[in-house]
Amino acid sequence: MTRHALIVVASLATACSALAQEAAPGKEAPKAPEPPAPAVPAAPIAPVKQPPPPQAPPSPMVLTGVVKDLDGKDVDLASFKGKVCLIVNVASNCGYTHQYVGLEALYAQKKDQGFVILAFPANDFLGQEPGTAAQIKEVCYGKYKVTFPMFAKVSVVGGPEQAALYKQIAAQPAPVGGDPKWNFTKFLVDRNGNVIERFEPRIRPSDAVLLAAIDRELAKKGGETATPEPAPASPPAEGGK
């Protein structure tokens, strides 16, 4: 056999050996490439939440609705529109009760100019107005001789029993709004029926800051709007006329 023939035989033998190894049992055939994973869809974009529309401020009109007077008769608060009103929560056994004297003097002095005081007995603070309507009359009419309108006892602080009038007052923005902090808190109402200023109990009926506010409103005609001025804050210390 020639040398060339030997080379050919050797090459064939090598090829056959390689084929035999590939076909041998237990040997895995080369894997085909895996297809690409499907694309993951993008998450939907959540809609942008719009802020809620701003709420309209509460109406400053407080002379609405019907209340009971101290005799149990219905009184329409709207009947006081056209007058300058001072709304006061009163009590018979309070250190400020003597302010009835100053309130009556203030009413007598300015009622002919279109001023009126609307007094609402309330038992919300340390039970200082516990009596019946007849007992309240003994104090305000008998002892202090008041002649301004007195109304039936109500609750003036937040809760299910709070009078509608005081709910409307409490809903006002500062410095007017909020529940009374004590007896003889005073709220000034203009001729249009809008509550415009607040005076804490320590502000006496004869105090210059209160008198000036009342006179300013009395000088206005119905329909003119008022610019509220902050009233001095005060703790509920008792006393004063």
Q: Are 92 and 129 in contact (CB under 8 A)?
A: yes
Q: Is 94 a catalytic residue?
A: yes
Q: Are 164 and 170 in contact (CB under 8 A)?
A: no
Half-sphere exposure of 18 (CA within 13 A, CB side): 6
Buried b (16+ CB within 10 A) or exposed e, 24-52: eeeeeeeeeeeeeeeeeeeeeeeeeeeee
- What is the DSSP secondary structure assignment for residue 113, as one 8-state letter? G
User: What is the length of the chain?
Assistant: 241
Question: How many Å apart are CA 88 and CA 94, to the nearest integer?
Answer: 14
Point out the catalytic residue in the list 16, 85, 94, 140: 94
Q: Which residues pair with 69 in a beta bridge?
A: 151
Q: Are 188 and 227 in contact (CB under 8 A)?
A: no
- Joined together, the tokens standing for residue 76 give 């329409």
137, with CB counted inside 10 A (0-12, 13-18, 19+), is: middle
Q: Does the N-terminal peptide bond of residue 175 adopt cis geometry, omega within 30 degrees of 0?
A: yes
Helix, coil or strand: residue 9: helix
Residue type, 107: Y
Catalogue the active-site residues: 94
